[in-house]
């Protein structure tokens, strides 16, 4: 339960995630100072969401946005891909980042040194990157929103084991569908708080009773009384880091422009998901295997020119461990309070 002192503080100030601002020296060294690392860790542990300010070249962001928005129409017209609506809501699609284009391969996007530094501190030395996708909140889809959910359909650890670094390709505001995030929910929830799947709704190797993504409505309402959700704003050049356990929901985009963010996943090196792999073009293997000189382990399958359609397998992601996981017992976890 959120401590009363913190609750009193939030009653008098806007409840926002932690924003980490670069100093001139940190930008020159391409590394945060110990003070900013501490601040970043405090933000992730307390909120489950963190925003790194101005860590990506805006020229790179603008180029990626132009490329990806030009592809949206063809994606929607492609019968194989138009069904890839995120969380089943027709306002938001999963979109393949342009990993197959040489002109879109930027170290500060795919292997950002500040993101990696935070990953090392939060997840452990030499984190694993094995996930990459993009999320496009389509223009002019006001009124449509996702249910409150986690991107997890299994009994997950109750400690940091994975985070998603979202590189925003445009300014994020409430008007264009900045993601709704339930700060602190990652530290006060278990898989027992998620709606159990049924025979009709199960995915992959689930069995009925396993957790679906969606959080139980009554649990959501209990949490709302303690710490209601926010739509954190940010601008081009920022990166939003979200602990995978944090509740969130895609929101309506009432603007005239698509709102896109690229998501890159980092896994704790101790976590036993040994099978998840990115699908990347063999043509650019040298770029990805250098991983920007950063201390990460890249897990990927490389596809030659004849098999680039496999890149779309990046849509079908799961963060589930590759070893058996026993469902938590209610008494054992004491049904952690919201």
Name the average pLDDT for the chain: 88
pLDDT tens profile 155-204 = 999 999 999 999 999 999 999 999 999 999 999 989 999 999 999 888 87
Pick from 104-108, 170-174, 312-316: least confident: 312-316
Domains annotated for the chain, with CATH where assigned, are: 15-333 (2.60.120.620)
Instruction: Give whichever of 7-11, 45-49, 256-260 has the largest mean pLDDT.
Output: 45-49
Structural contact between residues 145 and 250, judged by C-beta atoms closer than 8 angstroms: yes
**pLDDT at residue 5 in the model:** 46
Structure tokens at 198: 């049924």
Instruction: Taking residues 99-115, report their average pLDDT.
Output: 97
Using the predicted structure, report yes or no on whether residue 83 has a pLDDT greater than 70: no
Q: How confident is the model at residue 23 (pLDDT cuts 50, 70, 90)?
A: very high
- In this prediction, residue 205 has a pLDDT band, given cuts at 50, 70 and 90, of confident
Give percent above pLDDT 90 in the chain: 70
Residue 6 has pLDDT above 80, yes or no: no
Residue 213 has pLDDT above 90, yes or no: yes
Tokens of 191: 């898989």
Residue 209 in this model has a pLDDT that exceeds 70:
yes
Structure confidence at residue 71 (pLDDT): 85
pTM for this model (two decimals): 0.89
| CB-CB contact of 255 with 142 (8 Å) | no
């Amino acid at each position: 339960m959120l401590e009363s002192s913190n609750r009193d503080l939030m009653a008098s100030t806007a409840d926002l995630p932690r924003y980490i601002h670069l100093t001139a020296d940190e930008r020159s060294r391409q590394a945060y100072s110990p003070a900013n690392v501490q601040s970043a860790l405090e933000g992730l542990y307390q909120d489950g969401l963190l925003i790194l300010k101005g860590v990506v070249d805006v020229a790179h962001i603008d180029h990626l946005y132009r490329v990806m928005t030009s592809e949206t129409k063809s994606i929607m017209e492609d019968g194989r891909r138009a069904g890839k609506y995120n969380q089943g809501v027709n306002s938001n699609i999963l979109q393949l980042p342009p990993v197959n284009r040489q002109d879109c391969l930027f170290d500060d996007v795919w292997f950002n040194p500040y993101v990696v530094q935070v990953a090392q501190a939060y997840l452990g030395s030499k984190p694993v990157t094995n996930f990459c996708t993009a999320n496009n909140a389509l223009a002019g889809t006001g009124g449509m929103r996702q249910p409150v959910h986690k991107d997890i359909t299994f009994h997950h650890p109750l400690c940091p084991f994975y985070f998603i670094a979202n590189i925003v390709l445009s300014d994020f505001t409430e008007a264009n569908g900045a993601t709704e995030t339930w700060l602190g929910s990652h530290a006060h929830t278990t898989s027992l708080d998620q709606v159990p799947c049924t025979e009709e709704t199960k995915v992959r190797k689930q069995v009925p009773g396993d957790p679906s993504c969606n959080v139980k409505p009554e649990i959501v309402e209990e949490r709302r009384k303690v710490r209601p959700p926010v739509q954190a704003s940010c601008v081009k050049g920022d990166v939003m880091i979200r602990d995978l356990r944090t509740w969130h929901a895609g929101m309506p985009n009432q603007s005239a422009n698509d709102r896109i963010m690229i998501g890159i996943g980092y896994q704790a090196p101790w976590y036993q998901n040994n099978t998840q792999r990115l699908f990347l073009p063999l043509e650019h293997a040298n770029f990805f295997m250098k991983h920007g000189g950063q201390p990460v382990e890249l897990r990927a399958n490389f596809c030659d020119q004849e098999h680039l359609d496999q890149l779309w397998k990046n849509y079908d992601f799961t963060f589930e461990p590759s070893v058996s996981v026993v469902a938590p017992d209610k008494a054992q976890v004491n049904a952690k309070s919201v």
